[in-house]
Amino acid sequence: MDKKNTKKSHIIIVSNRLPIILKKAENGKIEVEKGAGGLITAMAPILKNRNGIWIGWPGYVHEAGIDDNRFPAIQSAVSGYSVKSVMLSSDELKNYYEGFSNSILWPLFHGFTDKCIFLPEYWISYQEVNKKFALTVYQNTDDPDFIWVHDYQLILVGAQLRKFSKRTPIGFFLHIPFPPIDTFIRCPWRFELLSAMLEYDIIGFHTILSKRNFIGCIKKIIQDAQIDAKKAFDETVSEIRFNGRVIRTGVFPISIDYNEFSLHSWDKKVYKRSKKIRNNSPDTKILLGVDRLDYTKGIPEKLKAFKWFLTHFPRFHKKVHFIQLVVPSRREITAYADLKLKIEQLVGEINGIFSTNDWLPVQYMFRNLDRNELISLYRACDIAFITPLKDGMNLVAKEYCACNIDEKGVLILSEFAGAAQQFYQDAILVNPYDIEGTARAIYRAFNMPLEERNQRMRNLRENIKNKDIFWWLNSFLNAAIEKDLSSFPRVDEYFPDKPTANLGM
């Protein structure tokens, strides 16, 4: 990018991972492919249009002083915009990524404080690596550029850029929930983290609850910040005044490329594959869970609810087939390795108790699937069973509905997924800690009349179609530049005030 000859503003995306995937080819060589996912799809056109750059870690460790010949392959995997790699050593990976990011911020922000390991060396590494990211951003940007930093691994990047005297507008989007003050306050570096967030010009969250929690923490911890409490707590986008600057904060529920998923579901190969999945389980309803291996996703609780269902409703034996897909993730961290064992033990227990010669209640898969396989599963299943204990948004819920082109499926969704804020009227909401209530929700999904299923699924799909990933991207960027914030409607909000699963039995 020739920065010197143009003053047109560019867009710079900064995330922990670059939008690429490293794959081992059959000959043992590592190949670089373009990554998939909503964020990448949505960002690509805007990055191409505005001559943008994506800055991030390419996904492998690299020791200082060694020449890396993979950079050209990384660049050519992503066409139309530039990528810049930030290299991490194995020590940095251990302390910044597995340590501060995934053994402090991830559990803390999801409310699992017992899983936090507050080691000072993690904090030191987190600061150093965030500085390293900021330096790469600094070296590759010019003043009118808009820098957009993503997620909890990189909270300090904005503040570090200010230390380099960067005055460019900088935005931040948090993809995970922001915790309430009584949780956040346990972090030994609470003041540093919050002050760093106030160096951004705009900060986005998935839900109004996260935004409120953030404002609540600012009010208690950063004494000089001026907040119009009413607006801050209720409005989609509001302002905080601090140190002579105005910081905007808003609610932007992330989404998926609805059209892409929906069209893909009409594909002949997908149809054939989904038919095959259905034929493997004749006369049964398929219940589907798709989750990354993570204690926040509530997989053991979900299995316990399924066990309760089979125990108390024996007439559904041989009438239901539960497919639980788990995507490998962060297994180097002990809590994740333990979780895997727990899940496998529960699957074994349920199948041991209930299976017969011609019926296996739980089919468990622990691997990555390609797009076709995943969409075929979404298409084949009757009930999506998505019950995280806490989740920023949950894109699987949105993908499932987008793929449910015959509009006969049912979505069982946890109240504690960000997506519940959007879908509370049409999904069956459950409290995943309530094993019996969750089991009864399966019963309800089983018995829901076709007409009701059609209506609910149509509403869900309409909702996702109207607020897809491109809507999300535009809302965030508009909020960063819009003069009149009243153009952002107030946020629709769900809070459980009565028993959730309307059991109808």
Q: Which residues bind ligand ADQ (CB under 6 A)?
A: 37, 175-176, 254, 290, 292, 325, 327, 368-369, 374, 391-396, 399
**DSSP bridge partners of 386:** 413
Buried b (16+ CB within 10 A) or exposed e, 185-196: eebebbebbbbb
Task: Report the residue number, 78 or 384, with the smaller CB distance to ligand ADQ.
Answer: 384
- Match 């409290």 to its residue by tokens: 431
Task: Report the residue number, 202 or 310, with the smaller CB distance to ligand ADQ.
Answer: 202
Task: Report the residue number, 84 or 297, with the smaller CB distance to ligand ADQ.
Answer: 297
CB of 368 to ligand ADQ, least distance (A): 4
CB of 7 to ligand ADQ, least distance (A): 33
Task: Report the residue number, 315 or 367, with the smaller CB distance to ligand ADQ.
Answer: 367
Task: Report the residue number, 222 or 327, with the smaller CB distance to ligand ADQ.
Answer: 327
Q: Mark residue 59 as left, alpha or beta (left: phi above 0; alpha: psi -120 to 50; beta: remaining).
A: left
**By the 8 A CB rule, do 460 and 408 touch?**
no
**By the 8 A CB rule, do 433 and 301 touch?**
yes
Cα(480)–Cα(259) distance, rounded to whole angstroms?
Answer: 26
Task: Report the residue number, 301 or 391, with the smaller CB distance to ligand ADQ.
Answer: 391
Task: Report the residue number, 161 or 395, with the smaller CB distance to ligand ADQ.
Answer: 395
Looking at 164-298, list the stretches that DSSP marks H as alpha helix, in order from N- to C-terminal side.
Answer: 181-184, 190-197, 208-221, 229-234, 258-265, 268-280
The contacts of residue 38 (CB under 8 Å, 6+ apart) are 254, 255, 256, 257, 395, 469
Cα(21)–Cα(478) distance, rounded to whole angstroms?
Answer: 30
Q: Count of CB atoms within 10 A of residue 79's CB?
A: 9
Task: Report the residue number, 189 or 295, with the smaller CB distance to ligand ADQ.
Answer: 295
CB of 261 to ligand ADQ, least distance (A): 9
**By the 8 A CB rule, do 383 and 412 touch?**
yes
CB of 98 to ligand ADQ, least distance (A): 16
CB of 206 to ligand ADQ, least distance (A): 7
Q: Is 285 helix (H, G, I), strand (E, B) or coil?
A: strand
CB of 144 to ligand ADQ, least distance (A): 27
CB of 342 to ligand ADQ, least distance (A): 19
CB of 436 to ligand ADQ, least distance (A): 25
Task: Report the residue number, 55 or 256, with the smaller CB distance to ligand ADQ.
Answer: 256
CB of 37 to ligand ADQ, least distance (A): 6
**DSSP bridge partners of 127:** none
The contacts of residue 7 (CB under 8 Å, 6+ apart) are 142, 144
Looking at 222-298, list the stretches that DSSP marks H as alpha helix, in order from N- to C-terminal side.
Answer: 229-234, 258-265, 268-280
